[in-house]
Amino acid sequence: MKTTGNSKVFWIVSTLAGAAAALAVCAWGNQAGTVGKPAAQAQVAPAGQAQQKKQQKEEALVVSATDIPDTILVTGELQAARSREIRVPRIRSGFASAVTYLPLEGTKVKQGDRILEFDASALLTQKSEYERQLDEARLKIKKTETDLNSQRMDLLIALDQAETAVKVAKLYAAIPKELLPGNTYQKYQLDLEKALLSRDKAKEQLANLDGSREAQMNLVELEKAQAELNLRRMDADIASLQINAPQDGIVIYGDNWANNRKIQVGDTLFPGMPAVTLPDLSSLQVVGFVYDTELRSLSPGMRCDLYLDAVPGKSWQGTVQSLTSVASKKSFASTHKVFRAIVQPDNVDVEVMKPGMTVRMEVPVSVSSRSIAIPREYLGLDAAGRYFVLKGSERKKASVQPVTVGAFSDRLVQVVSGLKEGDRILKVQGMTGATS
């Protein structure tokens, strides 16, 4: 009985060991069968093939009519719509003026601050001469008045003497003729006539002096008034050479045409030249420079995005307000002619936006509306310079279809002929030497 029990136990152990060995062999066989072809790959391969087929099907583009958008890039700069332009003053005492003071360009100034000065040394010299002339005119007035008073006094004395002589002559002339010799009587009568003539002459001279006194005084007074006028003009000219800000703003230098640069201290400027501009920052707008090829695609009212070169990573919105119809030079030193587009930002940030900053404007436009349009990667160009597309849904069965193209944008191209809505086409990027 004992022996029999041991035999059963041995048989059970042997059976279990054999089963374990069989399982190990099966596992080894499965592992060996997948060498060079991993199980994961075997399972994924059918899925990858399906995905590849799906991608091949997705390459086909169904042609449709659509708008062709594009973006026009316009460069410009910030300028103030409202600003005060300070010009070189027109002075009567000189023709050109040298700049002696200018604040730094971009300096914020308040109303009444000094913003510009010119050399006044020559005017100060002339002012001294006018002051001397005025002093001489005043002295001449006093001298003329004294001389006239002295002359009148002399004439009054002469008139009084003539009156006395008349009285004496009358006494002698009143002696009866019978009491005097004939020649003596005649002499007394002649003396009376002479005395009367002398008195009349003295009265006439006094009357002439009194009549001419006002004219003579007016003449010297006129010289004084002219000297005072010259002095006032000189003071006004000197004062005009020191210019204060008429409003708050930022100092912007004018252009020195002769030297092709901005105005600076020491430059000699001529009357009427713009020297300084004080822009009103709240009225900042963008003045864009548009070439004739872009002008026809723009119109007032279009919206655009604004980018300041000095403030990267930030943008503003704006509206095209106006477009000029006549081209002009971009600047006085440039030979290129451009059209000007005025763009008004929706919001003016005076802390960031400054006059003269360069601005890049992106204006979305429609190159064509409701046209057959395809992405540019679906358009090919053969060796003969002819455009074509791959028409079909599968590359192996696709045919080369010549097309005529129209307008281009950065992403789409208009197909004028060769395709219709509903056609299917494939990408042609990477293909070379294709022919129709």
Residue by residue, pLDDT tens for the chain (436 residues) are 344 444 443 334 344 444 444 443 334 344 433 333 333 343 444 555 555 554 545 578 899 888 888 888 899 999 888 888 899 988 876 677 889 999 998 888 888 999 999 998 888 888 999 999 999 999 999 999 999 999 999 999 999 999 999 999 999 999 998 888 889 999 999 999 999 999 999 999 999 999 999 999 999 999 999 999 999 988 988 888 999 999 888 898 988 887 888 999 998 888 888 999 898 888 899 999 988 878 888 899 999 999 999 999 899 999 999 998 888 876 666 677 889 999 999 998 888 888 888 999 999 887 777 889 899 889 999 989 899 999 988 888 888 999 999 888 778 898 999 999 989 899 886 554 444 3
Same domain? 168 vs 232? yes
Which of 369, 389, 391 has its CA nearest to residue 377?
Answer: 389
CATH number reported for the structural domain that contains residue 419 in this entry? 2.40.420.20
Bridging pattern class, strands 387-391 and 358-375: unpaired
Residue 41, token pair as written in the block: 């790959």
Neighbours of 209 (CB within 10 A): 16
Same domain? 182 vs 155? yes
Q: Could you say which of 318, 351, 368 is where a domain stops?
A: 368
Residue 203: what pLDDT? 93
Is there a contact between 231 and 131 (Cβ–Cβ < 8 Å)? yes
Residue 346: what pLDDT? 93
Residue 368: what pLDDT? 76
Neighbours of 247 (CB within 10 A): 14
Residue 322: what pLDDT? 92
Is there a contact between 78 and 354 (Cβ–Cβ < 8 Å)? yes
Residue 261 sits in which domain range? 83-119+241-269
Indicate whether 8 belongs to any domain.
no
Same domain? 314 vs 219? no
Query: What is the C-alpha separation between 72 and 297, in angstroms, rounded?
Result: 8
Indicate whether 24 belongs to any domain.
no
Query: What is the C-alpha separation between 288 and 295, in angstroms, rounded?
Result: 11
Helix intervals (H) in 338-427: none
Same domain? 233 vs 248? no
Same domain? 249 vs 103? yes
Same domain? 205 vs 246? no
Residue 260, phi-psi category: left (phi > 0), alpha (psi -120 to 50), beta (remainder): left
Bridging pattern class, strands 268-269 and 242-244: unpaired
Residue tagged 């041995």 (tokens): 10
Residue 288: what pLDDT? 92
Give the neighbor-by-neighbor strand order of the sheet with 252-253: 83-87, 274-279, 252-253
Q: How many residues does the chain have?
A: 436
Residue 101: what pLDDT? 93
Same domain? 108 vs 247? yes
Which of 83, 78, 93, 170 has its CA nearest to residue 124?
Answer: 93
Domain count for the chain: 4
Residue tagged 């006129």 (tokens): 222
Q: Could you say which of 368, 391, 406 is where a domain stops?
A: 368
Residue 334: what pLDDT? 65
